[in-house]
Amino acid sequence: MNKKFNPAAATQLLKQLSRELGFSYCGISKAEFLEEEAPRLEEWLRRGYHGKMKYMENHFDKRLDPRLLVPGAKSVISLLYNYYPKKDLAKNDNFKIAKYAYGEDYHYVIKDKLKEMLYRLQEKTGQISGRAFVDSAPVMERAWAKRAGLGWIGKNSLLLNRSMGSFFFLAELIIDLELEYDGPIKDYCGTCTACMDACPTGAIPEPQVVDGSRCISYFTIELKEEIPPEVKGKFENWIFGCDICQDVCPWNRFAQPHNEARFEPPAGLENFQQQDWIELTEEVFQKLFRKSAVKRTGFKGLKRNIDFNKT
């Protein structure tokens, strides 16, 4: 590393780059074993809250120690990227998709930014090694973001930020560069249980614990087989993901619309009516969601979700 870049200077540069690339917040933690998270993760898996998401059982050690993902890692850089839309397309009488899926798949949008950030960091500081992560590897992103002071874990298990709520993506750079580390902030949920009370399938049995196997997002995205009949009539028209526990959170009154052109919904989606969803063809699906995260569920999966919501 270039000698003029001490940890303080490198940290300053990094946070400047994050702003230039459109990230709302950047926080840094020391890469080490997540001791507090180990028993929680073990218990969550033991209860079967991951449902059919068997991949959650894999790489237990890597989830808890970033140095096993990136040899020689010294720092975990946590970043927030806003996706709150200018217009909420979820209408009570229409089928609904989660706000994060309105535009282009966030994996690609944010991965591009992280690669650019790493490249520009290397340009300035000399040779460093690292990897970029966007919800696609065994990284406990909320735990790292909490450690870095970007927010606290809400009762719905999502990271909450005092100035922007929770409608943002989390991303990480894990690198072998020593930096100045941030610290956690306090929990501001207080006695509020709005998210727990609002969940129609009872997927939040206790504060900060989500039974993934009962979550509408799990049923409409992760579950590949038939949706259990016992939750029929409880989805409130959600056909891909669910925003209920975020929509009712008081902290989301501070959410501001994003400025990311790639997150804008495709032409036509805004005017989609319930009948359009019912009559959706594979051709229209491929055209409308060509670059969207909605492709994850596939045409057949989305049709299954639509049929399940029909009265």
> For the chain, what is the largest distance between any 2 Cα atoms, rounded to a whole number of angstroms?
67
Angle CA 117–23–204, to nearest 5: 120
Q: Helices 106-125 and 7-20: crossing angle, nearest 10°?
A: 140
Catalytic residues: 135
Q: Where in the chain does DSSP place strands (E)? A: 25-30, 75-82, 96-97, 130-133, 152-153, 159-160, 168-175, 238-240
DSSP classification of residue 161? B
Q: What is the DSSP string of 24-70?
A: SEEEEEE----TTHHHHHHHHHHTTTTTT-GGGGTTHHHHH-GGGTS
Output the six-digit token pair for 40. 């929680």
Q: Tell me the C-alpha to C-alpha distance, in Å, between residue 301 and each of 83, 216, 240, 306.
A: 24, 14, 9, 9
Beta bridge partners of 77: 28, 173
Q: What's the rounded Cα separation, in Å, for the pair 150 and 144? A: 9
- The CA–CA distances, whole Å, from 107 to 88, 114, 133, 254, 256 equal 21, 10, 9, 25, 21
User: What distance in Å separates the CA atoms of residue 260 and residue 255, rounded to the nearest whole number?
Assistant: 15
Q: Are 99 and 167 in contact (CB under 8 A)?
A: yes
